Amino acid sequence: MYLLLLLPALLIGALSAEDVKPQQNANHIFNAIHSSMRQFGSSLNHNGMSFFLATVPRETRLYHGTNTASPVQGMEWLAFEAEHALMFARPRFGRPPSRGGHGDPHRGPPTLSPQHNNHGHLHTYRTKRDLHLLYIDGMSAAKTSNGTLDSTDHVLLDSSLVCSGICEHERATMLCKLAETEWGNRVDGILRMEAGFEIIMCSFEKNLDIVAVARIDSPKPRSGDHRGFGTFQLYKAISDRFHGIGGTRVKLDYENFVTAYDYPIDLFRNQDSNITMPRLRNVSQPIVDRMRKDIRDMIMMSDLDSSMVSHNWQATTDMIVQRYSSPLRYLISDKVAASNELLRHTLTQYLRSFIDDANRDRKGEVTRCAAHMFPTETLRDKRLASRSVYDVSKTICSTLFEASALAASRSDAGQSKAVDIIRTLVEYLQWTSWKECTTCDDEHLCFIPIWPMGSIQDHRNPSCLNETMLATRHGYWGRWQG
């Protein structure tokens, strides 16, 4: 772990005294940008540490499940996918819901009495104007004891939420109160993710028009659907959003965001679980106060009514991951690691476009490699996203050129060290692309723990599961899991 922490400094800092000091936690900030508004990466790195300003365009369709046909007044939840909202389109009696009209879809079908209608309602809304939201990354809507709520409860709400149980309605009410009193009503709600992306909308009547209300009869449970509310179909819809929310339904501002990775704190200390994840529960009060102020300043000082024109740093991370993900995995494979000739040849092929054979210059070669994915003007940008993404790009290039030089020695020691530093780079990067399943057939989906389902093994090694297999996956989420 110590070597992983030193890797950027060792590889970048040694190149030139003129180089800028590497960005702290550049790998984690890179991954936060890369996984933002993506179900797969946000589910694997479920303890979100970052806060972004988000815009949902005018005329976007959103969904709400409830027990009544009447349009919502005041604060409630909205889903981006109809399948997500359908989980809440059911009668409200029997087991009490945990939050507003959405209720709790994970308690199973209610027990009906003869005088009750066996149906709920699916509302379709459209946005009256562009919505301004605060996006909390990771799986920040999941009600778990694993740290998914840290960024909300310990930072935004400053540990002031006091209640027993899941407390979703209380949490949402406090967030909307925060938006009103501290953020001057400059954001319309909170954007989060659990089994799908959702919005805590602070005022339905202010921001939404009703499009349609459909009666939804409660289905009878079928084999494999142990809850009777289309769990597998919901997860199939979720898998469609593994790599993005789709279309232009959400735009994030990557130039101005706040992340816990940019503060002088060790987010990975005192781990008590089988999966190492960052936590915010023990952050000192002065740091919490700084983060809250920085979030407020981000909201209050941003031009929310602009089109949020900024460089799309997620697109840049995409290009870097697409370029290097497979090659890095190949370079540490048994086939390549066992052959110095193949290792040397493969590295040469990956790097030759950055080399002038008549004028070899390691620093210049690394710089050309690192800048390959960057528009020229962004190389002068010293904001957090630019610095972090560039540092990761430069670390990759520095490592590969160093490995190439070691392999060129044609010695066993050089070959072994070259493979070792590439393996260390892969451990440092922690890209979610290396956990993606191979193509699953139509009867299966690539399953990772998404609250309230999933096991520790599913997080370590995601695999293709069918409806029957999915229903048995539990044990990952601690308290409040399904």
pLDDT classification of 61: cutoffs 50, 70, 90: very high
Residue type, 448: I
* Residues 187-206 pLDDT 10s: 999 999 999 999 999 999 99
Q: Contact, 168 vs 98, CB < 8 A?
A: yes
The CA distance from 64 to 87, in Å, is 10
What are the backbone dihedrals phi and psi of residue 452, each rounded to the nearest 5 degrees, phi first?
-105, 20
* Residues 309-344 pLDDT 10s: 678 999 999 999 999 999 999 999 999 888 888 999
- pLDDT above 90 (res 103): no
Instruction: Please tell me the predicted confidence (pLDDT) of residue 138.
Output: 97
- pLDDT above 70 (res 155): yes
The CA distance from 33 to 332, in Å, is 26
Q: Contact, 334 vs 419, CB < 8 A?
A: no
Rounded to an integer, the average pLDDT of 243-251 is: 91
pLDDT classification of 222: cutoffs 50, 70, 90: low
pLDDT classification of 272: cutoffs 50, 70, 90: low
pLDDT classification of 304: cutoffs 50, 70, 90: confident
Instruction: Please tell me the predicted confidence (pLDDT) of residue 260.
Output: 97
Q: Establish how many alpha carbons lie within 13 A of residue 270's alpha carbon, considering only the half-sphere containing its beta carbon.
A: 9
> Crossing angle, helix 384-408 and helix 362-370, to 10 degrees?
130
- pLDDT above 50 (res 59): yes
* Residues 383-411 pLDDT 10s: 999 999 999 999 999 999 999 999 988 88
Instruction: Please tell me the predicted confidence (pLDDT) of residue 300.
Output: 95
Task: Note if the pTM is more than 0.85.
Answer: yes
Instruction: Please tell me the predicted confidence (pLDDT) of residue 220.
Output: 65
pLDDT classification of 221: cutoffs 50, 70, 90: low
- pLDDT above 60 (res 242): yes
pLDDT > 90 fraction of the chain, expressed in percent and rounded: 63
Higher pLDDT, 345 or 99: 345
| Secondary structure tally for the chain: helices H, strands E | 17, 11
Instruction: Please tell me the predicted confidence (pLDDT) of residue 107.
Output: 39
Q: How far is CA 4 from CA 11, 85, 120, 189, 426, in A?
A: 11, 42, 52, 38, 10
What are the backbone dihedrals phi and psi of residue 221, each rounded to the nearest 5 degrees, phi first?
-60, 140
Rounded to an integer, the average pLDDT of 359-380 is: 87
Instruction: Please tell me the predicted confidence (pLDDT) of residue 110.
Output: 42
- pLDDT above 80 (res 380): no
The CA distance from 145 to 439, in Å, is 32
Higher pLDDT, 388 or 273: 388
